[in-house]
Structure 1
């Protein structure tokens, strides 16, 4: 996200860090979920401290101790979120984002081999702060309310991805074993369709349905669609033949029932998340701004707020937001050659939110 903000937006420039001995120090951290490589350099680019620390509470505390020992108040890192960034901001350090793509290019300063090494990348990050201090954007944290809303929004998005995958798996099973169930109702994973598959998971069991029995079943399950019982029974009878009996039909029944239960659970959990999202959106100070957007609704308004954030300094003008979301074109010019292309380096989640709303 921060990478896109460096185009079209003024950057916050921090003053260099100075140790107690008067030496200006710069730090870089190459972090992962197992360990973190820390490098601190002086104003001449010489390494004065290097360490590889575990991703534990004592390890992060040791990071803070080393940074404060050398008077460092600004740290270079490859991404603007995650537990290490949260720890550094909480302990009062400024976090400067230098993206992985930029680090890859900066490695060429020190050799043409292009080898990837965590300790070396930490040195590159620290040295980039030393040589190009004013180029990098300082992380501007969002409020806890916005972070919580973002977690709910992204969890819902991931849950929908899981639901679509299970839906497609169920569709593939029915295409081979029970084609008549496909297209019987408007969607395969709505409540009435799942109830039907739970009661009639195989073609053999659905063959028991007559027009009268179908009418009774629909009434008992509160069906409010437009199709008549006769039309639904005709749909089942006109469909291609699946597996009506045998071990394959028994296996298909077990798989269908398992996937139906899983889909019902996913839909219920999605509904719970959407309720929590609505509560968080209504309680958020910026909620009225985003809900006032045309046809934003609840889900889109919550998604926009979660991805845009509530830090005003991050987007000082519309051009900064457009660049971060990738909706502004990328222009490349060399001599007489001019190329205006699709902007790929951006915050993908923010782009998806804006495009969906548009």
Structure 2
């Protein structure tokens, strides 16, 4: 067998190839792209025995996506995505000087796969439709996070020179009403000149159909209220910045809506979409995110516990001597964790079982976040069972064991 460590960068890869005894066979720096991958295949052909198979080549690399990784998988190699934190800790096993180099990191990755492959999960092949959902869902979520960052900046700006706008719109500055009015009146002077009729026109064009008069009066009252003013030059600068931020957020809203349609359409084509949509708290967008991050390879998770651990919702235990502490997993897939939190929160209002489970945890002293993580962890296990058995969610089946245990404990 051959073991390859691949320390990747944006435009090149440092490669180290070792054999089963740990002997270094080759070291190269290869360019990213077709030429580089062809040279890597040539190195493999030079050192792999004549009766060797592509599956005899094990590759360790600190990423699980990208054209280079796809090319490695297409060649039939077994590829392991190594967490950079794990690689750093392994490097410390062999030296405490703190020395580091790309060549050395490539060798470390090769050694990890040679000695500890059993403790790492190889990259499995998701279906093409699952990969498409992943790209779309992650991009959609990233745009939402980008919008929130811009909203935070806008809120900070308004607080400095235009607090009346915060009084009118609160923290929901990405809302259509806020963007429509702030685009027309990005500063205090323009806001004070707005009339109720003008505000009604702006709200109507933005899409509001109900309570136009009432909402317009509320906005006018807030914008004309007394407030501390910044100096004229500073106020003009903030006004220009606010106008630019409003335009950026409005465009992000448009692109998020457009991408959401593509996410929903692509997710609907997946054969497991109906199972995901049957889960409490999951709609087309959250369902697409959960599918994208879990993948659809049926052999990726050995059991429900493995899926729960990957989700980051199951707790970790730290025990030493007489001290034992149960903590949340902070090192996890952020995209998946965000989606599962939202699912658990939504499930509280549509699933009696999830609500009862949450209330029970709260009664035992858990905080809101702790109880919500427990609900999310339980829902991941339920999802695993539904996918394994190709069955839709059933409220009674999902929670009857827990409810029976609660009743027995009460008795």
TM range (shorter): 0.7 to 0.9
Whether the aligned pair in 2 keeps the contact of 1:64 and 1:88 (CA below 8 Å) is: no
What secondary structure is seen at the aligned counterpart in 1 of 2:326?
strand
Match of 1:26 in 2: 3
1:52 Cα offset (Å): 1.5
1:277 Cα offset (Å): 0.5
2:124 equivalent to 1:164: no
Whether the aligned pair in 1 keeps the contact of 2:134 and 2:292 (CA below 8 Å) is: yes
Q: Deviations over 1:201-243 (max 9, x none)?
A: 3322333345566556656766424735444332222241435
1:163 Cα offset (Å): 1.3
Match of 2:36 in 1: 59
State which of 5, 8, 12 in structure 2 corresponds to 1:35: 12
CA-based RMSD of the aligned residues comes to: 2.7
State which of 199, 204, 222 in structure 2 corresponds to 1:235: 222
Q: Distance in 2 between matches of 1:64 and 1:172?
A: 53
Q: Distance in 1 between matches of 2:90 and 2:113?
A: 12
Whether the aligned pair in 1 keeps the contact of 2:289 and 2:335 (CA below 8 Å) is: no
Cα distance, 1:167–1:239 mapped onto 2, change above 3 Å: farther
Match of 2:183 in 1: 198
State which of 235, 243, 248 in structure 2 corresponds to 1:257: 243
Q: Deviations over 1:163-201 (max 9, x none)?
A: 122222222332333332223246322222222122223
2:160 equivalent to 1:176: yes
2:304 equivalent to 1:318: yes
Match of 1:296 in 2: 282
Cα distance, 1:63–1:199 mapped onto 2, change above 3 Å: same
Structure 1 unaligned spans of 5+ = 1-16, 18-24
Paired residues for 1:9-158 under 5 Å: 17=1, 25-71=2-48, 73-158=57-142
Which deviates more from structure 2 when the two are superposed, residues 283-292 or residues 327-336? 327-336
Q: Distance in 2 between matches of 1:132 and 1:210?
A: 70
Q: Distance in 2 between matches of 1:217 and 1:29?
A: 56
Which deviates more from structure 2 when the two are superposed, residues 252-261 or residues 279-288? 252-261
State which of 161, 174, 178 in structure 2 corresponds to 1:189: 174
Flag the structure with more relative contact order, 1 or 2, with Cα contacts below 8 A and sequence separation at least 6. Answer: 1
What secondary structure is seen at the aligned counterpart in 2 of 1:328?
coil
Q: TM-score, normalised by structure 2?
A: 0.73
Q: Distance in 2 between matches of 1:302 and 1:200?
A: 38
Q: Deviations over 1:232-269 (max 9, x none)?
A: 332222241435x9444443332222222111101001
Which deviates more from structure 2 when the two are superposed, residues 107-116 or residues 256-265? 107-116
Q: How many residues align?
A: 334
Q: Distance in 1 between matches of 2:89 and 2:203?
A: 64
